Amino acid sequence: MSLVDSFSLDDLTQRCASETEKFNRREPSDARFCFELLRRALADEMSDAFTRVYQIYERQVLVWVHSHSGFARSGESADYFGSTAWSKFYFALCGPKFDSFPSLQQVLAYLKLCVHTAIAQYLRDQQPAPTMPLDDAPNAAHLPDLGTRIVAAELWRQIEQLLTDRRDRLLARCAFVEDLKPRQIVKAYPTFWKDEREISVELYRIRRLLRNDPELRRLAS
């Protein structure tokens, strides 16, 4: 049994908070206390311990939210992303899953990563499907259901049968799956297409091929 195992929750919290302050001041710090607090919170699923962890790192999480390049364009509140990140973090590391994270640095890196995935998922969900006006875009956490994905898979399979050229498939994917504009496609694939005009002309040809296919029309309707 190590020294930290015998600490009460209050003592552990106090030591963790103190060592975290030292770390933030770029002073030498001891990671054992915070790691043990996190272990009790996540591996042992002690809600009191998790509350303490949340309280100690809450400000850091909000700093990460504000520093993320996607936060400003999301238009959403920081506390929403903070809560989502904590929920993801808990879900990903609770119980035996915590064993995959043997150090404080790795645990906190994953917490930071959860901030990113919270924002990235929100931004992806808020981008409206092309038929939808922005105001009607679904709330966060919209994910295509299984039925929708099956239809999409069939649709894409049919498109691949019609477009045998690799460049055509890539262009169709950029335009119809990723909803990229010609200028974005040129930027992403400068070795394939040199300008927007070239993309537009190739899209005309691709559309002619796709438009004439009755099976595609049936699947898309």
Partner 1 sequence: MECSSPPPLTDDQLSAALDQAAAPDVIDHLASCASCAARLEAAQQAEQSMRSALYRWDCPTPQTIADYHLGRPSAEEQRAIVRHLETCARCSEELAELVLFMRDEAALAAPAEPSPARRPASRGWSLARLLPRVPALALRGGAGAPLMFETDDGVTIFLELQPVAGGQIELRGQLVADDQDGWAGALAELRQSGILRATAAIDDLGTFRVAALPPQPTELRVTRADGRALRLPEFELAS
Within residues 24-43, the interface with partner 1 by CB under 8 A covers: 24
Distance CA 88, CA 110 (A): 10
32's tokens: 């054992």
Residue 139 sits at φ, ψ, to 5 deg, of -60, 165
* Residue 19 Cβ vs partner 1, minimum distance, rounded to whole Å: 15
* Residue 42 Cβ vs partner 1, minimum distance, rounded to whole Å: 11
- The SS3 of residue 179 is coil
Site track for partner 1 across 43-82, x = CB under 8 A: --x-xx-xx--xx--xxx-xxx-xxxxx----xxxxxxx-
Do residues 114 and 45 lie in contact, with contact meaning Cβ atoms separated by under 8 Å? no
129 binds partner 1 (CB under 8 A): yes
Which residues 5-24 are close enough to bind partner 1 by CB under 8 A? 24
Distance CA 174, CA 188 (A): 10
69's tokens: 């390049």
Options 5, 44, 178, 195; binder of partner 1; rule CB under 8 A: 178
- Window of 1-9, 11-19, 29-37, 180-188 that interacts with partner 1 by CB under 8 A: 180-188
164 binds partner 1 (CB under 8 A): no
Where do the DSSP E strands lie in 30-100? none
* Residue 37 Cβ vs partner 1, minimum distance, rounded to whole Å: 14
